[in-house]
A and B are shown apart, each in its own frame.
Chain A
Amino acid sequence: MSGAGFLVDLHRCVGCGSCVLACRIENGRTEEPVWRRVVPLNLRRHPGGPTYFLSVACHHCDEPACLRGCPSRAYERRADGIIVHHEDCCLGCRYCEMTCPFGAPKYDEQRGVVSKCHLCADRLDQGLAPACVTACPTEALQFQRPGVAAGGDARAGVPGFVDPAGCRPNIRFTPPRGERRVVLFAAIEEAIRR
């Protein structure tokens, strides 16, 4: 992990969606498609796997497929690694929607352009955390500074989240803790490795 990004503690995240609402408010996305979503895994609580939630938006990848796939150079990488999208350059061709394996770029039918999470770059420039991070009531969602490796048990991939296109996304996950969930988690990770 080299650029700025997110760290999600899967033990602390309760999947409440506060991050999603905070993103809507901060970015004025009242009725437009929202940039962040929470993916619940195993709400049915199948005994073969743990139940947890993935709060995800744009991962500001080191090898961003959106940027590579954009014919109009609407995407730009900042020095801190944040991938910003310039709406005024956007053709609305939606290629980035197709190339991004994580579904981060969202097409706005009304305005005919794409947009996505910019990691609250304006807030970061003022020394504030991204709005989603500030809103997280359990402090599960954290901002990762560029060039700082996520410590502890953080990892790049977890069951339910893989990097299928070699984008090297800047997101890390701390797995759920507690005996039951660790065992289940390890079993799934092992199955994926095989």
Chain B
Amino acid sequence: MTALRTIRTVCPRNCYCTCGMLVTLDEHGRIVRIEGDPANPATGGHVCLKGLSYARRVGYADRLLTPMRRRKGQAGFHPITWDDALGEITERLTRVRATHGPSSVLYYEGSGSHGVLGGLSMAFWRQFGGCTTTYGDLCWPAGLEATRLTYGANLHNHPRLTRDSRFILIWGHNPAETNVHQWRLILDAQERGATVAVIDPRSTDTTDAADIHVQPRPGTDAALALGLARIIVDAGLHDTAFLVEHAAGFEQYRARLADYPVERVADITGLNPAAIRDLALAYARTRPALLIAGFGLQRHHRAGQTMRAVALLPAVTGNVGATGGGWQYANLASHCLRELPLPPEPAGGRSIPVSQVARHLETLTDPPIRAAWIERGNPGSQNPAAPRVRAALSALDLVIVVDQFMTPTAACADMVLPAKTLFEEEDLVTAYWHPYLQWRAKILEPPSHVKPETEIWRLLCERFGYDTTWFPTDRVAYLRQLLPAGRESALEALMDRPLDLSEHGDIAFADRHFPTPSGKVQFASDEAAELWGVGAVPEYAPLDEGHASALAHRLPLQLLSCKTRDRIHSQFGNLDWVREVERPHVLDINPQDAEARGIPDGARVTVWNDRGRIELAARVTPGIRPGVVHVLEGWSHEGDPDVNALTGEAVTDMNHGATFYECLVEVERV
């Protein structure tokens, strides 16, 4: 009988679920079992295929296990020692700084592995004299800001209260594929009699199981939200008692609804007026009703105003502060940790919007970017205008990428440093769907030539003669001091189970206190107007690159590049175990659009616009709305479409997000 030991940890991927995991090792330190941690009440004893795939990923043949370098202009990397790697990095970074100044170095960190220790990179860069960093986020910031402006905080009910819902409206979201533990709870509610309605231009595993599915034109959700509200208010189904007490600016909002009669909304959204009316009445008449919004409906430049319009519906109907109801976008209850102790920020640092890396690499002056350090990210695949990111990186004097695998970004590097896995260093991991802070245990030693990023930064500080006392000698003690004041002793409990260290309770806004300027739900927000230059009351405005734009005459199809269950962006798809069960990366196109272009099912097609072109197979599917096409994002292995060759670098109206789904294309048969 072999001696097995089971260790509790957490999956740190950029994913709603942030599953508690139990990993069982044999006496040789090999992973023999991965299961969900039943102590996490949200993920309930389950992980998903990605969590299970760590058993393959950690020791996968393609994993980078030693520093690698490449001579400029030569193909292929060769292994070098850490001593040589650190020596060369020190010399070349020093040279770049001497010639162009510290801001000529771009430090880019992605969301590839969550944990607080990643922030220690700044202990090096601040002592280096600063660098150019990125601000904003590729994914969700507009919705976060819209929620903050409306309700005062990004909180929502505990996931398990989903089961109490009688009506679940899922908007621009696909939990069956991207938040599978939420989906289990939704299915439970449905079995208990709840109606599930989904708003999505595509058909997905979520829409297949739904009772109601409406498919508006992408980018018209603000009009739909205001149109639904108009119907609800006209029918007298708004919650007057709630609104009198807890709404600020409702009369201004109500006046705005006059602009959104159902006929106009039907015209904008491309929906049947009866379908809009039925949805509005069903949502407003059933309590408690839960509105779950995803990131999909805010990946365009009108994102913030759209999300404000949608986020107000639960307040219109009084579905706030009760079990089974609410507005669910992001729950930041676990984001309660203290700031890392870091050296003071040097003057003259610089920051660029993360959705515009290509443009800034190409055009920044005074100083231009001459070197880049990239970790936990793959901007050469995942950022807008990805081919331009790759070309610009390849033209720099020095590019260093830290990763576990040779990504399209790493392929542009001069030097690639091997990254640890989630099992190879302790950390604290926050979540954005459930309220739990979780302990990421160190359960394996890194392979002999792999160093955690914290150690790489510490060694570089040593080489540069910087203060290394910013780095932990004892990671457990270090992480303990990051817990909220007075809760330091919770660390041992955290090793034992996930903890909700917030004071918010399971029902968000149960006390009906909203930390907004008025203390009420902001139907009108002067703050939105002041900060972002948008209307104080949300409104619909057409996308610059949408179905009604001039460009649509030439490029008539709206491209969505969504996510599915097999990957977190470009992670996991390189593994054979995942490829065996993954979804095909094809172009989904409606039969109407396919027929007009002479495209049979399975044909190779070119998808193009003024920014680029990709080639892939078409899947002719009536599941997608006419006028809309779809490709799964996430370049993980050879042959995956480089979908960000097509996407643009515009930013959202609020909070510096990317606009991946504001992308017109044309499709033709190869």
- The answer to whether B180 touches A21, judged by C-beta atoms less than 8 angstroms apart, is no
| Among all A-B residue pairs, the 3 with the closest Cβ atoms | A17-B581, A45-B623, A21-B52
A114 to B53, CA, bound (A): 25
Candidates B205, B577, B584, B619; contact of A21 at CB < 8 Å: B577
- The number of inter-chain residue pairs (CB within 8 angstroms) is 106
Give the contacts of A1-57 with B (CB-CB under 8 A).
11-12, 14-18, 20-22, 24-26, 28, 30-31, 34, 38, 43-47, 50-52
Q: Nearest CB to that of A45 among chain B residues? A: B623
| Overall SS of chain A's interface | loop
- The answer to whether A138 touches B180, judged by C-beta atoms less than 8 angstroms apart, is yes
Q: In the complex, which residues of chain B have a beta carbon less than 8 angstroms from the beta carbon of A16?
A: 48-49, 177, 180, 565, 581
- The answer to whether A25 touches B55, judged by C-beta atoms less than 8 angstroms apart, is yes
- The answer to whether A24 touches B209, judged by C-beta atoms less than 8 angstroms apart, is no
Indicate if B127 sits at the interface (CB-CB under 8 A): no
Q: In the complex, which residues of chain A have a beta carbon less than 8 angstroms from the beta carbon of B47?
A: 18, 135, 137
Indicate if A181 sits at the interface (CB-CB under 8 A): yes
Candidates A44, A50, A178; contact of B210 at CB < 8 Å: A178
Q: In the complex, which residues of chain A have a beta carbon less than 8 angstroms from the beta carbon of B36?
A: 137
- The answer to whether B208 touches A50, judged by C-beta atoms less than 8 angstroms apart, is yes
A52 to B35, CA, bound (A): 25
Indicate if B63 sits at the interface (CB-CB under 8 A): no
- The answer to whether A138 touches B577, judged by C-beta atoms less than 8 angstroms apart, is no
Using A14-B180, A138-B184 as known contacts, say yes or no to A44 and B620 having CB atoms under 8 A apart: yes
- The answer to whether A14 touches B177, judged by C-beta atoms less than 8 angstroms apart, is yes
- The answer to whether A45 touches B52, judged by C-beta atoms less than 8 angstroms apart, is no
Q: In the complex, which residues of chain B have a beta carbon less than 8 angstroms from the beta carbon of A31?
A: 576
The residue in A14, A38, A46, A179 that gathers the most chain B C-beta atoms within 10 A of its C-beta is A14
Indicate if A87 sits at the interface (CB-CB under 8 A): no
- The answer to whether B211 touches A21, judged by C-beta atoms less than 8 angstroms apart, is no
Indicate if A176 sits at the interface (CB-CB under 8 A): yes
Task: Beyond the given A16-B180, A20-B49, A25-B55, please list 16 additional residue pairs across the A-B interface where CB-CB is below 8 A.
Answer: A11-B209, A20-B581, A21-B49, A21-B52, A21-B53, A24-B55, A45-B203, A45-B622, A52-B208, A135-B47, A135-B52, A137-B181, A137-B184, A139-B184, A176-B209, A177-B190
Using A16-B180, A22-B52 as known contacts, say yes or no to A137 and B619 having CB atoms under 8 A apart: no
Give the contacts of B152-181 with A (CB-CB under 8 A).
176-177, 180-181
Indicate if A119 sits at the interface (CB-CB under 8 A): no
A34 to B33, CA, bound (A): 16
- The answer to whether A26 touches B33, judged by C-beta atoms less than 8 angstroms apart, is yes
0/1 interface trace, chain B 35-78, chain A, CB 8 Å (1 if under): 11000000000111100110110000000000000000000000
Closest Cβ of chain B to A134, distance in Å, is 6
A50 to B203, CA, bound (A): 12
Closest Cβ of chain A to B580, distance in Å, is 7
- Chain A residues within CB distance 8 Å of chain B: 11-12, 14-18, 20-22, 24-26, 28, 30-31, 34, 38, 43-47, 50-52, 131, 134-139, 176-179, 181
Query: Can you list 28 A-B contacts (CB < 8 A)?
Result: A12-B187, A14-B180, A16-B180, A16-B581, A17-B566, A17-B581, A21-B53, A25-B33, A31-B576, A44-B621, A45-B203, A45-B208, A45-B622, A50-B208, A51-B205, A51-B208, A52-B208, A134-B35, A135-B47, A135-B52, A136-B46, A137-B180, A137-B183, A137-B184, A138-B184, A176-B209, A178-B210, A178-B211
Candidates B203, B211, B581, B601; contact of A38 at CB < 8 Å: B581
Closest Cβ of chain B to A127, distance in Å, is 15
Give the contacts of B2-37 with A (CB-CB under 8 A).
31-36
0/1 interface trace, chain B 603-623, chain A, CB 8 Å (1 if under): 000000000000000011111
Q: In the complex, which residues of chain A have a beta carbon less than 8 angstroms from the beta carbon of B176?
A: 14
Using A16-B581, A21-B52, A47-B622 as known contacts, say yes or no to A135 and B209 having CB atoms under 8 A apart: no
Candidates A30, A47, A52; contact of B56 at CB < 8 Å: A30
Candidates A17, A47, A50; contact of B49 at CB < 8 Å: A17
The residue in A22, A25, A179 that gathers the most chain B C-beta atoms within 10 A of its C-beta is A25
0/1 interface trace, chain B 576-604, chain A, CB 8 Å (1 if under): 11101111100000000000000001000
- The answer to whether B33 touches A18, judged by C-beta atoms less than 8 angstroms apart, is no
Q: In the complex, which residues of chain A have a beta carbon less than 8 angstroms from the beta carbon of B566?
A: 17
- The answer to whether A14 touches B620, judged by C-beta atoms less than 8 angstroms apart, is no
Closest Cβ of chain B to A102, distance in Å, is 18
Give the total of B residues in contact with A, Cβ under 8 Å: 44
Give the contacts of B177-205 with A (CB-CB under 8 A).
177, 180-181, 183-184, 187, 190, 203, 205
Q: Nearest CB to that of B175 among chain A residues? A: A14
A52 to B209, CA, bound (A): 9
Closest Cβ of chain B to A193, distance in Å, is 24
- The answer to whether B208 touches A181, judged by C-beta atoms less than 8 angstroms apart, is yes
Q: In the complex, which residues of chain A have a beta carbon less than 8 angstroms from the beta carbon of B577?
A: 20-21, 24
- The answer to whether A25 touches B52, judged by C-beta atoms less than 8 angstroms apart, is yes
Q: Nearest CB to that of B206 among chain A residues? A: A14
The residue in A15, A28, A45, A178 that gathers the most chain B C-beta atoms within 10 A of its C-beta is A45
Closest Cβ of chain B to A187, distance in Å, is 16
Q: Nearest CB to that of B34 among chain A residues? A: A25
- The answer to whether A25 touches B31, judged by C-beta atoms less than 8 angstroms apart, is yes
Give the contacts of B547-585 with A (CB-CB under 8 A).
565-566, 576-578, 580-584
- The answer to whether B622 touches A46, judged by C-beta atoms less than 8 angstroms apart, is yes
A176 to B176, CA, bound (A): 14
Q: Nearest CB to that of B584 among chain A residues? A: A43
- The answer to whether A178 touches B209, judged by C-beta atoms less than 8 angstroms apart, is yes
A179 to B35, CA, bound (A): 35
Q: In the complex, which residues of chain B have a beta carbon less than 8 angstroms from the beta carbon of A43?
A: 583-584, 619
- The answer to whether B55 touches A135, judged by C-beta atoms less than 8 angstroms apart, is no
Q: In the complex, which residues of chain B have a beta carbon less than 8 angstroms from the beta carbon of A12?
A: 184, 187
Q: In the complex, which residues of chain B have a beta carbon less than 8 angstroms from the beta carbon of A131?
A: 33
Q: Nearest CB to that of A28 among chain B residues? A: B32
A22 to B53, CA, bound (A): 9
- The answer to whether A25 touches B32, judged by C-beta atoms less than 8 angstroms apart, is yes
Q: Nearest CB to that of B582 among chain A residues? A: A17
Q: Nearest CB to that of A23 among chain B residues? A: B52
- The answer to whether A137 touches B48, judged by C-beta atoms less than 8 angstroms apart, is yes
Closest Cβ of chain B to A16, distance in Å, is 5
Q: In the complex, which residues of chain B have a beta carbon less than 8 angstroms from the beta carbon of A179?
A: 211
A134 to B609, CA, bound (A): 46
Closest Cβ of chain B to A133, distance in Å, is 11
- The answer to whether A14 touches B53, judged by C-beta atoms less than 8 angstroms apart, is no
Closest Cβ of chain A to B122, distance in Å, is 36
Q: Nearest CB to that of B624 among chain A residues? A: A45
- The answer to whether A14 touches B623, judged by C-beta atoms less than 8 angstroms apart, is no
Using A18-B47, A25-B55, A30-B56 as known contacts, say yes or no to A45 and B187 having CB atoms under 8 A apart: no
- The answer to whether A44 touches B565, judged by C-beta atoms less than 8 angstroms apart, is no
Q: In the complex, which residues of chain A have a beta carbon less than 8 angstroms from the beta carbon of B181?
A: 137
The residue in B48, B582, B620 that gathers the most chain A C-beta atoms within 10 A of its C-beta is B48
